[in-house]
Structure 1
Amino acid sequence: MDILTFSDEIHMVIPEGAVLERLETDFRFVEGPVWDSVQQCLYFSDIPASTIYRWTPTEGYSVYRTPSDHSNGLTLDGQRRLLACHHGSRKVTRTEADGTITDVATHYQGKRLNSPNDIVVKSDGSIYFTDPPYGLKGHIEGKELPFQGVYRYDPATEELRLLVDDFDKPNGLAFSPDEQTLYVDDSGRDHVRAFDVTSTGSLINGRVFTKLDPTIGNGVADGMKVDREGRVYVTGRGGIWIVSPSGEKLGVIRMPEVTANLAWGGDGRDLYITASTSFYRIRLNVQGIPPVRG
């Protein structure tokens, strides 16, 4: 496995002799992986194929839902219900325990969302998601909102609140271990921003946390996860960038395909990666933060 090293700390994360396994391939463009620790399975989207797949280590992959309205980012809420961002229908949905699908967010102030992209749930149940225009033809056709926002949805009150509106193309997002910081990357600017999270769930004190080097490889800042020690893992620009909690670049796991997203799975040390036509797995020395906390 090829690793670009910026700091010796990277060797604390990646064990000597670590292997990058390609688990499945021949997809169109895979995204949005999430691990269900109860079912011991991985869900992931193939956006152009408009399909959500389910994969287990023993049975391989099968179709979970098709069509999926060109789903992208996936996660689980506190009741382990599947949340999905959809490019096709331009909304966020929740799959209930009985299999029915509920709309979570479709409009902001009477205008259709652009194309919800990625999503994360805080331990209090609130849902944060990004809304770039990637799902729109030419990134503009049918666009009703004049901005690309980051939103918070409160399931208790059903309030959808716009938190930040000055991104170019907001994409992946992840909370720090203590949930006091929310990281959001901007694919259009190839950097990650950090925000302080207030007691009401608002975002303040936005600042650039780290910037990817465009000379390293193909891709853009995209999916993002955090480990239990606070390191941030960002897909894009040659592979998976690993960054310390202070913003220091530790290294890049070079990937053979343009890499879109990632998810912790198994016992928490398996990192599952969606990359163009395939998905992969690496076993690390550190544990990640699961989608359902607690």
Structure 2
Amino acid sequence: MTHREDRNGKAMSRRQSIGALGFGAATVLAAPAVLAQQAPEPPSTVTTPPRSFEPDAPPNVYFVDPDLVTHDPAFGALIQANAPIKRLWTGSLWAEGPAWSAVGQYLVWSDIPNNRQLRWLQDDGHVSVMRAPSNNSNGNYFDRQGRQLSCEHLTRRVVRYELDGTVTIIADRFEGKRFNSPNDVTQHQDGTIWITDPPYGGQLYEGAPDASGGPSNPDGHLDPRVGQPPDIGDARREMGHGVYRVTEDGTISRMIDEVQLQNPNGLCFSPDFDRLYVSSTGAGPGDTGEGGKGEIFIFDLAEDGTVSNGRVFTDCIVDDIKCSPDGVCVDVYGNLWASSSAGRAVGYNGVTCWAPDGRLLGRIRLPEVCGNLCFGGPKRNVLFMAASQSLYAVPMATQGVSFG
């Protein structure tokens, strides 16, 4: 989530600023006191020596990349010496949903406002458009059969691209009501698919607003049909936020509702599948409640898929700076890696890494707000980071969990 400043000079999230301009329902993620602490802005993510991510930039790594910041000595075991953070590509409007194809040896990610999916090839670093239009896709995931799952904001559904080239709708409604805008998707080892459904796609920039009278277009000033296919424009928000589970026979169950957690965003399982992590971000278009507070929640997970004992895993405050999360993933040691949006506190944008007991282990500083991340590469030891306009990567001394 990117940030701008309001008329009082306070930081506002990318989605909140859109809400302030057109919806009036978005609320600030953090308390004013926290935002006030974000006011001092360091000149760059690294002040000494100056850092450049350009392809022809001079070397910047002196055994350990200076933007790998240790908060706990245990982070040292996760850092790969002599491995630099690299900007692999830039040119998107809002990069999201990276997913690694182990079979194809490529990374796919979404450029939501540009309505396309991009692909980075492992062999030569080539980047090309993989799918356009993408129905303003957000989160992506490759299931245990190597098929791509995508959350589509525009059509308010989750689809699967089959191996024979056809497309299957995995979920578009719950109890007859249309989803808001599925955001992130993952798969449990039992084969079930899990989805978060906040309202962020109900806006012009990342999808389409509600039809006239809907929560994100109450006065009907916006025309959701402009620039869209003829079957787009009649949808209205019909239900609150939620986290859903889809069984292999297509049965959809709401596992977490809006009362338990507002604005669910990124999600992932612990390596042994007995816990579920869900990030809770800020209020979106059409929201009338307080909205999420930029926290990561953890739930206990039973063998039958039921969740219980939801509690805050971390408030994502680092050095008194709110590092609001979006996408999350785990490594083989159970550490949780979360994207970080700190707005004007640019030295805190990037990634935070948390031990299973909630301790902050370290951070990865990026010059842009990070929206989502995943492990990939031939050995699953490269952390890919979709950050605003760019794609970054850094090899680590750990691996992402394989759920295959």
TM-score, length-scaled by structure 2: 0.69
Give the C-alpha shift of residue 216 in structure 1.
6.5
Q: 1:289 is matched by which residue type in structure 2?
A: V
Q: In the alignment, is the contact (CA less than 8 A) between 2:334 and 2:356 conserved in 1?
A: yes
> 51-60 or 84-93: which moved more?
51-60
Q: 2:318 and 2:281 mapped to 1: Cα distance?
A: 11
Give the C-alpha shift of residue 51 in structure 1.
0.5
Distance 1:102 1:219, change over 3 A: farther
Q: 1:217 and 1:136 mapped to 2: Cα distance?
A: 29
Q: What's the counterpart of residue 175 of structure 2?
A: 109
Q: In the alignment, is the contact (CA less than 8 A) between 1:231 and 1:244 conserved in 2?
A: yes
Aligned pair 1:134/2:200, yes or no? yes
Give the C-alpha shift of residue 140 in structure 1.
2.8
> 205-214 or 139-148: which moved more?
139-148
Map residues 5-44 of structure 1 onto 2, 5 A cutoff: 5-44=70-109
Partner SS, residue 73 of structure 2: coil
Aligned pair 1:148/2:241, yes or no? yes
Q: Which of 165, 190, 199 in structure 2 is aligned with 1:99?
A: 165
Distance 1:245 1:218, change over 3 A: closer
Q: What's the counterpart of residue 265 of structure 2?
A: 171
Q: 1:252 and 1:97 mapped to 2: Cα distance?
A: 38
Q: In the alignment, is the contact (CA less than 8 A) between 2:154 and 2:181 conserved in 1?
A: yes
Distance 1:173 1:73, change over 3 A: same
Q: 2:323 and 2:314 mapped to 1: Cα distance?
A: 16
What's the % identity of the aligned pairs?
39
Q: In the alignment, is the contact (CA less than 8 A) between 1:127 and 1:154 conserved in 2?
A: yes
Q: What's the counterpart of residue 231 of structure 1?
A: 335
For structure 1, which runs of at least 5 residues remain unmatched after alignment?
none
Distance 1:26 1:144, change over 3 A: closer
Give the C-alpha shift of residue 207 in structure 1.
0.9
Q: 1:150 is matched by which residue type in structure 2?
A: V
Q: What's the counterpart of residue 324 of structure 2?
A: 220
Q: 1:185 is matched by which residue type in structure 2?
A: S
Partner SS, residue 170 of structure 2: strand
Give the C-alpha shift of residue 220 in structure 1.
2.8
Q: In the alignment, is the contact (CA less than 8 A) between 2:119 and 2:130 conserved in 1?
A: yes
Say how many residue pairs are matched.
291
Q: What's the counterpart of residue 155 of structure 2?
A: 89
For structure 2, which runs of at least 5 residues remain unmatched after alignment?
1-65, 204-208, 210-214, 218-234, 283-292, 343-348
Q: 2:120 is matched by which residue type in structure 1?
A: W
> 39-48 or 11-20: which moved more?
11-20
Q: What's the counterpart of residue 385 of structure 2?
A: 273
Give the C-alpha shift of residue 254 in structure 1.
1.0
Q: What's the counterpart of residue 2 of structure 1?
A: 67
Computed over aligned residues only, the root mean square deviation of the Cα atoms, in angstroms, reads 1.7
CA deviation vs aligned residue, 1:120-177 (integer Å, no higher than 9, x gap): 101111000100000002773454333110000012x211100111322110011101
> 205-214 or 122-131: which moved more?
205-214
Distance 1:285 1:77, change over 3 A: same
Aligned pair 1:80/2:128, yes or no? no
Give the C-alpha shift of residue 215 in structure 1.
6.8
Q: Which of 181, 193, 212 in structure 1 is aligned with 2:297?
A: 193
Q: Which of 115, 140, 144 in structure 2 is aligned with 1:50?
A: 115
Q: What's the counterpart of residue 289 of structure 1?
A: 401
Distance 1:78 1:171, change over 3 A: same
Q: What's the counterpart of residue 71 of structure 1?
A: 137
CA deviation vs aligned residue, 1:246-292 (integer Å, no higher than 9, x gap): 111112111110101111111111111100110011011111113xx
Q: 1:164 is matched by which residue type in structure 2?
A: I
Q: In the alignment, is the contact (CA less than 8 A) between 1:219 and 1:259 conserved in 2?
A: no
CA deviation vs aligned residue, 1:197-240 (integer Å, no higher than 9, x gap): 11211111111111112777686310100000000000013210
Distance 1:218 1:99, change over 3 A: farther
> 74-83 or 132-141: which moved more?
132-141
Q: In the alignment, is the contact (CA less than 8 A) between 1:218 and 1:258 conserved in 2?
A: no
Q: In the alignment, is the contact (CA less than 8 A) between 2:99 and 2:109 conserved in 1?
A: yes
Q: 1:145 and 1:217 mapped to 2: Cα distance?
A: 35
Give the C-alpha shift of residue 18 in structure 1.
3.3
Q: 2:372 is matched by which residue type in structure 1?
A: N
Distance 1:193 1:18, change over 3 A: same
Partner SS, residue 11 of structure 1: helix
Q: In the alignment, is the contact (CA less than 8 A) between 1:219 and 1:258 conserved in 2?
A: no
Aligned pair 1:160/2:252, yes or no? yes
Partner SS, residue 114 of structure 1: coil
Distance 1:69 1:216, change over 3 A: farther
**Counting strand residues as a fraction of each chain, which structure ranks higher?**
1
Q: 1:217 and 1:24 mapped to 2: Cα distance?
A: 28
Q: 1:225 is matched by which residue type in structure 2?
A: C
Rg (Cα) greater in structure: 2
Partner SS, residue 9 of structure 1: helix
